[in-house]
Amino acid sequence: MSQIIKDGKDTIIFATKEDHQSPSKVILSPPEPSPGLIFPDGSINWNCPCLGGMATGPCGVEFRESFTCFHYSQEEPKGMECREKFTAMWTCMDQYPEVYSESLKDDEEFLNAEEKAGETVKNEKTNS
């Protein structure tokens, strides 16, 4: 039989060999399903761990505005009307390189690829 001793804020449990030989009687509840980034109603889950804290960091407001714009964008290519909001977010992120250095590197690569793709489309239209 185990022995339980309370010592201030601590609880000390001494278990016997017999305590460990019997199967556990603890019944765990099934894990709650994680809603993911987008809720079933189509709204954004700002608490999703997949956002990596971006929604609550020093540039959280700018991130949420740009991400919301992109999520609800109807233009083709998606998000073209959000360029100003993303620029504001990147400007804010430039002020906090110790927090966002890896994110900025990824964004710069994305912008460079986007600009090259835009130039290719522009060149194809002028050559046609």
Task: Report pLDDT digits (tens) over 71-103.
Answer: 999 999 999 999 999 999 999 999 998 888 765
Q: How far apart are CA 53 and CA 102, in angstroms?
A: 13
pLDDT tops 60 at residue 122: no
CB 66 within 8 A of CB 89: yes
Average pLDDT, the chain: 83
Give the start-to-end residue ranges of the domains of the chain: 49-127
pLDDT digits (tens, 9 = 90+) for 3-55: 889 999 999 989 888 888 888 888 888 887 778 999 999 999 999 999 988 99
Using the CB atoms, write b or e for 92-120: b if 16+ within 10 Å: bbeeeeeebeebeeeeeeeeeeeeeeeee
Q: How confident is the model at residue 117 (pLDDT cuts 50, 70, 90)?
A: low
Residue 35 CA to chain centroid, in angstroms? 13
At the topology level, CATH places domain 49-127 in: Helix Hairpins (1.10.287)
pLDDT tops 60 at residue 106: no
